Amino acid sequence: MTLMEKARNGKTDTIMEEVARQEGVEVEFIRKGLAEGTIVIPYNTRHKNLKPKAIGEGLTTKINANIGTSEDYSDIEVELEKLRVAINNGADAVMDLSTGFRITETRKAIIKNSSVPVGTVPIYQVAVETLQAGKAIVEMTVEDIFNVIIEQAEDGVDFITVHCGLTRAGIEHLKREGRITGITSRGGSFLTAWMKHNNRENPLYEYFDRLLEIAYQYNLTLSLGDGLRPGCLADATDRGQIHELLVLGELVDRAREAGVQTMVEGPGHVPFNQIKTNIKIEKELCKGAPFYVLGPLVTDISPGYDHITAAIGGTMAATAGADFLCYVTPAEHLGLPTVEDVKEGVIASKIAAHAADVARGNPLALARDKEMARARKNLDWESQIKLSLAPEKARKARKERNTRERDVCAMCGQYCALKIAEEALN
Amino acid sequence: MTLMEKARNGKTDTIMEEVARQEGVEVEFIRKGLAEGTIVIPYNTRHKNLKPKAIGEGLTTKINANIGTSEDYSDIEVELEKLRVAINNGADAVMDLSTGFRITETRKAIIKNSSVPVGTVPIYQVAVETLQAGKAIVEMTVEDIFNVIIEQAEDGVDFITVHCGLTRAGIEHLKREGRITGITSRGGSFLTAWMKHNNRENPLYEYFDRLLEIAYQYNLTLSLGDGLRPGCLADATDRGQIHELLVLGELVDRAREAGVQTMVEGPGHVPFNQIKTNIKIEKELCKGAPFYVLGPLVTDISPGYDHITAAIGGTMAATAGADFLCYVTPAEHLGLPTVEDVKEGVIASKIAAHAADVARGNPLALARDKEMARARKNLDWESQIKLSLAPEKARKARKERNTRERDVCAMCGQYCALKIAEEALN
């Protein structure tokens, strides 16, 4: 039985209890959300030592860190280090997006070492193995795709990105309107090329029922990918993107009917003033399915600093109702992230998630900021460091600059407003 | 004649022409904004080699970088390096907030070397010199304050922060409601202590007409400071803060009557969901006076990363109508920023300003993102680097990771979606 089915049968279990504790909500709230599909808990029982995390309406905002090898950087140990750094800095989930050598071995190692849910994009493996077999990507077969999905589910993957809503009709809308950056989703580009070459519909759409059967069997959470997500601000919220979302909404209905947990993926590059609309339209078209957004990036011109750009968009998105933020690292648009990039990306995303939780009035989030405010007022530096989202950096900066070891800081020194005002106000 | 008076007399000059060129607007638009007080151009003719910048309604968002010494770090050369780094990375103005040794010498050196408007908080110098004279800060005299303001105007300072709206009545509102962090504005704390000790009203409020006379004489732009700005999220938008803003609105009226350019300063620490309200209430109470905000910081718990926290708040603020963003560096709440901190702070703030300009539909901002999108689509790396807000970092990351010198990047390699889709869509 899937978690969704169990919840619909009015049953709770230790997984639901655990996430209820994390969130400070009643387990019934979790059960109801799971039953209605507004909450998902990516959880594959084959993934050992997994600490469950819930994503969705009424919960704290979760963040995901993409890791994984590429052709040019294909070291499993480095990816495991990224995994550790991501989790230590607060990632709620990771995705293994490997396209390098030893792709299966990499995935197994990541799942084995991850205490948080692990997601993948199975079509990457299909593409890599098709090329390795000396064929072109467009020559992958429908069987290849489903075989890899089953293989990954067997390995213990908790959620998979599947671009099921990318259809021939959607591509026609995109082509008629025109775009600057075309398609920037890798999965989206593979499938588009496949559809054109084979003159067939997207197999993940055509055989969606088969996908649902597999997902049901493994309690796999489907993350319905946005193959036509905009790759620049000018392409945002266009007809190709919205057509795909409309199809995804229909697929959410079908997945729910089949008792399969489902979330929906969203952009991407979106001007700040269009983010709220993007969230609201997803929530409407997909009937409250958890929304998993990449960034969004609020400008195209900050390579090297896209973790900041994404944190800006992510805060707006989550405040407006997005449930799950995919981090972006400083390496975005430039290359595969390093371990350090992963760390900076996670922290930036965590700031966005927390700021949004505060804006949404989450009691746990509000309490933490209040505690920090009190520590600050009391010039209690040890508590300030402990309460911070990135204690390591805060401690280092405090230590390096506070050479005279005073209770004030090296910016204001004896002109510390808090101290001066304390006396004056009493 | 001040720029405001000139504009009211229907006259334009080379300063107005220059900023109109920068903004891509008609000079008449600038003249009208100056005359009405919705635009300011901080410009002291004693500041040689100053490139004018306009701040206000209908213009691109400007950013300010705070530099200056402290007791613990008092090296003029380091501050001049911060100035260079700030300007090179896009700061539209700097404020010299020095409280270290040789305060006058530092200011003169900064003004001499700055091509952008320079602001100060004169009461810092008064406090430092009062302590140096062996007295307590609360023993500063009204004459001391006005003498320093005149001295700084003579030196060529373009705008000064003066906490004129902080009154005894405001402090009573603050005390009755209660606050966690009390007062975090240094100027605000000095004046509050002074008022209590001397049992008198804030001299910058009481003798506001005298201040206006000086400002008029030197075409000094007044930046009406918010001495009661919140120091944590829990204190945001409280009665102390709003009372001060209400008084500032009245003072804006008086300044405009006197032909003195005026902007208004705002918070500070503000939950993301309260930022828009803060901007709208300022625009109402202060009749469209340019709004200069610090951050705002959307969470209290990210010391070490407050440049990101401020970029999130700054984007929201500027999108909602704030005109001028004061940067925050990674060193905020920890110590005096280093040169590297200044750089990171300026870039983060620049991202916020630009993202907001895009959201507000500024044609110059939109065009730049479109150009980047085209360069990205064409895998034109040199143009991507040139168009980026921080070319240096983008170039370094691209070079370091792209060891095989390919036209694609080291993340996707041969799986580049742009390339694959390009063929499939044509």
Contacts of A124 in chain B (CB under 8 A): 415
Half-sphere exposure of B372 (CA within 13 A, CB side): 25
Check: CB of residue B284 under 8 Å from CB of residue B247: no
Looking at residue B139, the DSSP 8-state letter turns out to be G
Task: Give me the helices (H) in B260-299, please.
Answer: 275-285
Q: What angle do CA A326, A331, A337 make, to 5 degrees?
A: 80
Structure tokens, A39: 């909450």
Q: Please answer yes or no on whether A312 and B309 come within 8 Å at the CB atom.
A: no
Mean pLDDT rounded to a whole number for chain B:
96
Q: What is the pLDDT of residues A308-365, one digit of tens each?
A: 999 999 999 999 999 999 999 999 999 999 999 999 999 999 999 999 999 999 999 9
Mention every residue, 6+ apart, whose C-beta is less than 8 A from residue B285: B245, B246, B248, B249
Structure tokens that stand for B4 in this block: 């405001």
CB nearest B232 (choices: A334, A373, A417): A373
Residue B146 lies in a domain: yes
A372, A95 contact by CB (below 8 A): no
- Domain edge (last residue) among B316, B345, B361: B361
A232 and A322, same domain (yes or no): yes
Let me know whether B382 and B285 are in one domain. Answer: no
Domain co-membership, B178 together with B78: yes
Q: Which of A321, A343, A361 is the last residue of a domain?
A: A361
Neighbours of A368 (CB within 10 A): 20
Q: For residues A338 and A411, state if they share a domain.
A: no
Minimal Cβ distance to B192: which of A336, A414, A424? A424
Subunit contact A359:B233, Cβ cutoff 8 A: no
Q: Domain check: are B350 and B378 in the same one?
A: no
Q: Which residue of A has its CA nearest to B382?
A: A334
Domain count, chain A: 2
pLDDT band at B310, cuts 50/70/90? very high
Cα separation, B373 vs B369, whole angstroms: 6
Instruction: State the pTM of this model.
Output: 0.97
Examine residue A41 and state whether it is found in any structural domain, yes or no. no
CA separation, residue B285 to residues B280, B282, B335 (Å): 9, 5, 34
Tell me: pLDDT of B408 over 90: no
| Cβ-Cβ contacts under 8 Å, B352 against chain A | 312
Looking at residue B124, what is its pLDDT? 97
Read off the pLDDT band of A412 (50, 70, 90).
confident
Full residue range of the structural domain in which residue B379 is found = 364-425
A201 and A154, same domain (yes or no): yes
Residue in A72, A315, A369 closest to B312 by CB: A315
Q: CA-CA distance, B302 to B288, in Å (whole number)?
A: 32
Contacts of B420 in chain A (CB under 8 A): 137, 183, 186, 189-190, 192-193
Fill in the amino acid letter for B334.
Answer: L
Q: Which tens digits make up the pLDDT trace of B95-112?
A: 999 999 999 999 999 999
As given in the structure block, the two tokens for residue A93 are 């989930």
User: CA B255, CA B260: separation in Å to the nearest integer?
Assistant: 5
Q: Is the pLDDT of residue A39 over 90?
A: yes
Supply the angle between the helices A239-257 and A275-285 in degrees, to the nearest 10. Answer: 40
Are the beta carbons of B376 and A333 separated by less than 8 Å?
Answer: yes
On the 0-12 / 13-18 / 19+ scale of CB atoms within 10 A, B347 is buried
CATH code of B193's domain: 3.20.20.540
pLDDT interval class at A375 (50, 70, 90): very high
Q: Give the C-alpha distances (Å, rounded to integers) separating A235 from A174, A334, B47, B117, B354.
A: 10, 20, 45, 37, 18
pLDDT at B295 over 90: yes
Residue B141 has pLDDT above 90, yes or no: yes
Looking at the fold, whether A193 and A239 belong to one and the same domain comes out as yes
Q: Which residues in B lie closer than 8 A to residue A425 (C-beta atoms)?
A: 171, 174-175, 182-183, 192
Residue B59 DSSP class? S
The residue among B342, B361, B380 that closes a domain is B361
CA distances for A258 relative to A37, A211, A252, B166, B363, angstroms: 11, 11, 10, 63, 48
> Looking at chain A, which residue has its C-alpha nearest residue B310?
A312
Same-domain status, B354 and B369:
no
A235-268 per-position pLDDT tens digit: 999 999 999 999 999 999 999 999 999 999 999 9
Of the residues A299, A346, A372, A412, the best mutation for testing chain B's interface (the one with the most B CB atoms within 10 Å of its CB) is: A299
- What pLDDT was estimated at residue B296? 98
Interface mutation vs chain B, best among A301, A399, A426, most B CBs within 10 Å = A301
Q: In degrees, to the nearest 5, what angle opens at C-alpha B99 toward C-alphas B219 and B189?
A: 85
Min Cα distance B193 → chain A (Å) is: 5
Whether B237 and B197 share a structural domain? yes
Residue A422, pLDDT above cutoff 90: no
Distance from CA of B18 to the nearest CA of A (A): 26
The answer to whether the Cβ–Cβ distance between A422 and B182 falls below 8 Å is: yes
